[in-house]
Structure formats: C-alpha cells, structure tokens
Chains A and B, each alone.
Chain A
C-alpha cells in the first residue's frame, strides 16, 4: 500500500497569501497518478488537479500542482475566501489511497 503523508496538518493564512501544500508518498507514484481534492464542510470532495499537474474542468488557474515520483505540491497562488477548506491528495493507481488532509484556515 502506498502511504501518502500530507504536510502541514493545518495552514493558517490570510486571503491574498500564497498556500503551499505538500504530499509525500512512501513509494513512487506511477504514471503521475496523483490528484488533489478540495473538501468543504458537509460537501463531497471536488477534484482540483489530476496527473499531478493538470487542472480539472472549471478550476481557476490560481490552483497549480507539481511534482513527480514521491514528492508532490499543490500551490494556491492567492487565497480567495472560498479556498479555505481541507485539501486531500490521492494516488489513484491499482489500489488508491488518500493523504490525511491539510486544513487551510483563515489566520
């Protein structure tokens, strides 16, 4: 099983600031099968990034993903009020797993 470790657990930032979220895998994630999701309270997650760096349909370009192998990053260039949420990374290979999540909260 590929274990994904996200850091930090909580990120306290102000609107307009840059957010950098990390996702580290216990072994290499093949074919960049790495996605990022955003989840708000009481809602299902929403796909932001797939293939490590491709934005999903309708996702603003302030969201970007990078990385390969075992180290991946989600960057939100300038936080908007609606971006405060929990973010999960996922590897979606033959046996998918999720990271434990990073909460982005208002400072």
Chain B
C-alpha cells in the first residue's frame, strides 16, 4: 500500500519561498509509470493542481503558477519536492502531494493516492 506524507514549514513569510517535501513509502518512486504531483486547497475552497513530475524527471506546471514553481525528485530518498517562490497570502492553503497513475494506453491518469495534506500559512 503506497503512502505519501508531506513535510515542511507550516508558516512562511511573504515574498519568501515555500518548500515542501513528500516522502513516498510502500513502493519505489522510480518504478512504474507514475506522475508525482502537488495540489493545493485554500480553506473552504476548491482544489488547484500545481504541477507534476514524471519518473524520468520531466515536469508539467500549472500555467498560472509556472513562473514560481519548481518540482524535483530525489529517487535515493524516495521523495519529491515543491518550491514556490515569492509567496503571498493567496498561497495560504492545504498542500497535498499525490500520485497520478495513467491507465491502459493513456498518457496521463487520475490521482489514486493522496497525502494527508499539510497547511501552509503565509504571514509575517
């Protein structure tokens, strides 16, 4: 059973960089054809996809966040990470790491595993 766990600071100052790590257990991050993703949800609001990284290291980012986002993977630690620069209060949200699993011959897939989520607050 795959499990994902987010970790990182719960409080970030405006204009600084938000950094989160997702540790994957129950399977190797580099095995299989999976995408590893970040998704966020402001309190009381809907879900926003931030970006994904493939096991090969290729990435896709949300166009509205692309200039501020970097997702990377560390296969030796079975982890992947999110960096979001120049944060403002609008970046305050619960951040989820997740696994996307393509089905059959499809290139992309839905999220089949989610972390529990971690609240990040942007405030001075």
Chain A nearest CB: distance from B48 CB in Å? Answer: 7
Q: Chain A at the B interface: mostly helix, strand, loop or mixed?
A: loop
A82 at the interface (CB under 8 A from B): no
> A56 CA to B109 CA in the complex, in Å?
12
List A53-91 residues whose CB lies under 8 Å from chain B. 54, 56, 88, 90
> A14 CA to B62 CA in the complex, in Å?
38
B106 and A31 contact, CB distance less than 8 A: yes
A88 and B46 contact, CB distance less than 8 A: yes
We find that the number of chain A residues with CB closer than 8 angstroms to chain B is: 25
Residue of A1, A44, A46, A50 touching B115 (CB-CB under 8 A): A44
Q: Which chain A residues border B62 with CB–CB below 8 Å?
A: 95
A95 and B46 contact, CB distance less than 8 A: no
B112 and A44 contact, CB distance less than 8 A: no
A-B contact pairs, 11 of them (CB 8 A): A44-B96, A44-B115, A45-B111, A50-B110, A56-B110, A90-B47, A90-B110, A90-B111, A92-B111, A94-B108, A95-B62
Q: A45 — nearest CB in chain B belongs to which residue?
A: B114
Chain B nearest CB: distance from A85 CB in Å? Answer: 14
Q: Which chain A residues border B110 with CB–CB below 8 Å?
A: 35, 47, 50, 56, 90, 92
A98 and B115 contact, CB distance less than 8 A: no
A98 and B46 contact, CB distance less than 8 A: yes
> A63 CA to B46 CA in the complex, in Å?
21
A47 and B46 contact, CB distance less than 8 A: no
Most buried by A among B48, B96, B103, B108: B108
Chain B nearest CB: distance from A19 CB in Å? Answer: 19
> A36 CA to B63 CA in the complex, in Å?
22
Q: B104 — nearest CB in chain A belongs to which residue?
A: A51
